[in-house]
Chains A and B, each alone.
Chain A
Amino acid sequence: MIYDLAIVGAGPAGMAAGIEAAALGLSVTVLDEQPAPGGQVFRAVEAASGDAALAGEFRDAGGALAAAFRAVRGIAYRPQTTLWHLDPEAGLLSVVSGGATAEIQARRILLATGAQERPVPIAGWTLPGVMSAGAAQILLKTAGAVPDGSVVIAGQGPLCWLLAVQLLRAGVERLTLLETGSGGAFRDALRAGGLWTGRKLLAKGLALMRETRARGLRVVRNVRDLRAEGDGRIRTVRWRQGSRDHALACDTLLLHEGVIPSTHITRALGLDHDWDARQLCWRPRLDRWGATSHANVAVAGDGGGIGGWEAAAAGGRLAAIDAAHRLGRFDAAVRETRAADASKARHAALALRPFLDRLYRPGPGVLAPTDDTIVCRCEEITAGQIRDAARLGAAGPNQVKAYLRAGMGPCQGRMCGTVVAGLIAETRGTSMESVGALRPRAPFKPMTVGELANQRPDAIPELTA
C-alpha cells in the first residue's frame, strides 16, 4: 500500500503528528529506531513510570502522550525499525529491522528525527567513564541505573539541572556540577525578553535549581579549560576558574553543552540548511508548517531547531495538518483554522527560547578545541591535524575527510562534522557557510550484506492499534 504520510521518529513530534494525521483521515505509518514510543526526551516512559526519580513532566506529560499515541486506531507503528535510505522523489523509505529489509512507500514524508547532544570535544573525552549527560539520563530511564562513585556533570544548559535533580533523587551521593559559560550571559539573556510568556517553563527551571540546592548539590560556576585525565579510564577532571587550576577525583564525567538538531538525513537528502550562528549548529530551512526545500518532505520537532518537547509536539501537529492540505483534503483557509490551537501552543512553548539560547550560548571553545584534543573519535584525528590540513588547503569537511579520514568512520561525521568545519573556518578565516557541511550518504546506519539481501517486508514488525 502507499501511505499518505510516513513519519520517521516516535518522539513528541512524531507521536503528535501521527495522532493528528490519523484524526484527519490520513493513512499513517510511524517508523522508530527504539523499541517503544517516546523519543529521547520521553524514552522508555511506559516502562519507567514507576520510578520516583523521574517523577514530573517526564512521567506525566510523556506518559500521556505515549498513551494517546498507542490508543490511536489505524497508525501502522513500526518500532525497532531503522531508515537506511530515502528516495523523496519516489516517496520510498528503505528500512532495516530484525535482520530483514523492506521498502515503504508514502506520498509525504515527515522527518521527526529529533536532536542529538552537541559533541563536547575536550582533552580526554574519549576515555571510558566520560559520557554525555544525556547518556546517563537514558541509562536511568531505560535501566533505572545510576553511576557509582564520584560523579561530575560538566557544561551548561537546562539538562544539566534536570539530570542533577534526577541523579540526586535516584541516590547518587557524590555529585558535582561544573557549570561552564560566563557570568555576563545572564544580563544578555534578560534583554531577550519572553520571560512572562515563558513563565511556566521558567518556573520549572527555577524549581529544578531550588531542588538541587535543597538536596545539597555542589555547584562550581564559570568553569573553563575542562580536561579529563586517567590511564585506561577517567580518574581526574581538571578545570580553571578565574586564574586558578582545580582538580577533582572523578569516576564518571557527564558532558553537556546543549542539544543540536540531528541533520544527518536532511543533509544526506541535500535539503537547504542555514547555519545558526547563535546556537552553532546547522538547521534545515523550513516554513512555518515544517515544509523543507523538497516538495515531498517536511521536518518537525527538534530536528528543525531546538524548541523542546512542547514545541515539537505542536510542530508535529502543524506538519500533519499541512500534509492533509497538500494531499487535497482541505484548502488553505481550512488549514489555517485547524492549525490555530497548535500554532498558539508552539508560540507559547518557544517564548522562553531566546532567553535560554542567550543564557546557555555555547562558548566558542566547542568548535575550537586545543590541538591535542581528539575531534574525530572514530578515526582518532586531533584538532591540530585538522588545522594542519586546513593550512595545507582543505577548504571544507569533505576535503578534510579525504586528507585525514575524519568523518569517514562508523559515525559518518555525526560527532566531528561541525567541529571539523569550525576548525577550518577558524584556520582559514572564513565563514561556516562557505566551509559547508559533510554530505552524508546512505546507508544512514551500518547494515550487513545479509540484511540487504534479506528483503522481507513481512518480517518488519508492524503494530496497528
Chain B
Amino acid sequence: MFRRRPEARPATQDRLVEVFVAGRPLRVPEGASAAAAVLLSGAPAIRTTPVGGAPRLPYCMIGICFDCLAEIDGVANRQSCLVPVAPGMRIEPQIGARVARADDTAPEAA
C-alpha cells in the first residue's frame, strides 16, 4: 500500500481530486493517475486475470505491463496508469475476462 506525503508537497502543488475506487471516495493529488489512486486506496487488486482469476495490482506504471487494466467511467480495458484522475472519476476493478455488454458505448467526444 502507498501513502501520500502532504507535508512534502505545498498545497499549491498538491491540489486534491475526489475519485471513487470500487465505489469508495478517495482524495488523490491532481496529476496522479487512476492507477495511483488504486494503490493509494489500499484496494487488494485492480483486476483479476481472465485465465486464472489471480489478483493483480499495477506493476510498471509506464504503460508497458497492462496489469493496471480497469474499468474507468464505464469503459473497460483502460490502462489506468495512463489516465490522469479527474473529479468524480469512477475506477472499478476489472474482474476476469471482459464481457461485451449491450450498453457498451464509447466515451462521448468532448
B55 to A128, Cβ gap below 8 A?
yes
User: Which residue of the partner chain, among B30, B61, B109, contacts A454 with CB atoms under 8 Å?
Assistant: B109
Which bracket fits the contact residues of A? 35 or more
User: Which residue of the partner chain, among A132, A143, A148, contacts B29 with CB atoms under 8 Å?
Assistant: A143
Interchain nearest-CB distance for A415 vs B (Å): 5
Which of chain A's residues has its CB closest to B32's CB? Answer: A143
Complex: how many Å from CA A233 to CA B109? 38
Interchain nearest-CB distance for B3 vs A (Å): 5
Query: Chain A, 88-103, contact with B by CB distance < 8 Å: what is the 0/1 string?
Result: 0000000000111000
User: Hey, which chain B residues are within 8 Å of A47, CB to CB?
Assistant: 13, 30-31
User: Which residue of the partner chain, among B62, B77, B84, B109, contacts A35 with CB atoms under 8 Å?
Assistant: B84
User: Which residue of the partner chain, among B3, B51, B75, contacts A380 with CB atoms under 8 Å?
Assistant: B51
User: Which residue of the partner chain, among B56, B57, B61, B65, contacts A411 with CB atoms under 8 Å?
Assistant: B65
A138 to B61, Cβ gap below 8 A?
yes
User: Which residue of the partner chain, among A33, A51, A139, contacts B39 with CB atoms under 8 Å?
Assistant: A139
Which of chain A's residues has its CB closest to B108's CB? Answer: A99
Which of chain B's residues has its CB closest to A453's CB? Answer: B106
B58 to A126, Cβ gap below 8 A?
no
Query: Chain A, 53-94, contact with B by CB distance < 8 Å: what is the 0/1 string?
Result: 100000000000000000000000000101000000000000
B109 to A456, Cβ gap below 8 A?
yes
- Asked if B10 lies at the interface with its beta carbon under 8 angstroms from chain A, I say yes
B4 to A143, Cβ gap below 8 A?
yes
Interface centre among A47, A128, A450 (most CB of B within 10 A): A128
User: Hey, which chain A residues are within 8 Å of B81, CB to CB?
Assistant: 138
B8 to A144, Cβ gap below 8 A?
yes
User: Hey, which chain A residues are within 8 Å of B45, CB to CB?
Assistant: 128
- Asked if A270 lies at the interface with its beta carbon under 8 angstroms from chain B, I say no
Known A142-B31, A143-B40, A378-B66: A100·B1 in contact at CB below 8 Å = no
Which of chain A's residues has its CB closest to B43's CB? Answer: A128
Which of chain B's residues has its CB closest to A456's CB? Answer: B109
User: Hey, which chain B residues are within 8 Å of A98, CB to CB?
Assistant: 109-110
User: Which residue of the partner chain, among B44, B61, B66, contacts A131 with CB atoms under 8 Å?
Assistant: B61
- Asked if A385 lies at the interface with its beta carbon under 8 angstroms from chain B, I say no
- Asked if B64 lies at the interface with its beta carbon under 8 angstroms from chain A, I say yes
- Asked if A414 lies at the interface with its beta carbon under 8 angstroms from chain B, I say yes
Those of B33-52 within 8 Å (CB) of chain A:
33, 36, 39-40, 44-45, 49, 51-52
Known A99-B109, A380-B54: A139·B66 in contact at CB below 8 Å = no
- Asked if A434 lies at the interface with its beta carbon under 8 angstroms from chain B, I say no
Known A132-B60, A380-B51: A142·B65 in contact at CB below 8 Å = no
Q: Which of A175-183, A296-304, A312-320, A441-449 contacts B (4 or more CB under 8 A)?
A: A441-449
Complex: how many Å from CA A117 to CA B64? 9
User: Hey, which chain B residues are within 8 Å of A251, CB to CB?
Assistant: 1
User: Hey, which chain A residues are within 8 Å of B39, CB to CB?
Assistant: 139, 145
Known A98-B110, A233-B55, A379-B51: A145·B5 in contact at CB below 8 Å = yes
Q: Show 12 A/B contacts (Cβ-Cβ < 8 Å), sorted by A.
A: A40-B62, A116-B62, A128-B44, A128-B57, A131-B58, A138-B62, A142-B32, A143-B36, A144-B8, A377-B59, A410-B77, A411-B66
Given contact pairs A47-B13, A50-B10, A99-B107, enumerate 9 new A-B contacts (beta carbons under 8 Å): A82-B82, A99-B108, A128-B55, A128-B57, A145-B4, A145-B39, A410-B69, A414-B65, A451-B106
The 6 A-B pairs at the shortest CB distance, nearest first, are namely A450-B106, A135-B61, A143-B32, A128-B57, A410-B66, A138-B61
B-side residues, CB < 8 A to A, are 1-6, 8-10, 13-14, 28-33, 36, 39-40, 44-45, 49, 51-52, 54-67, 69, 75, 77, 79, 81-82, 84, 105-110
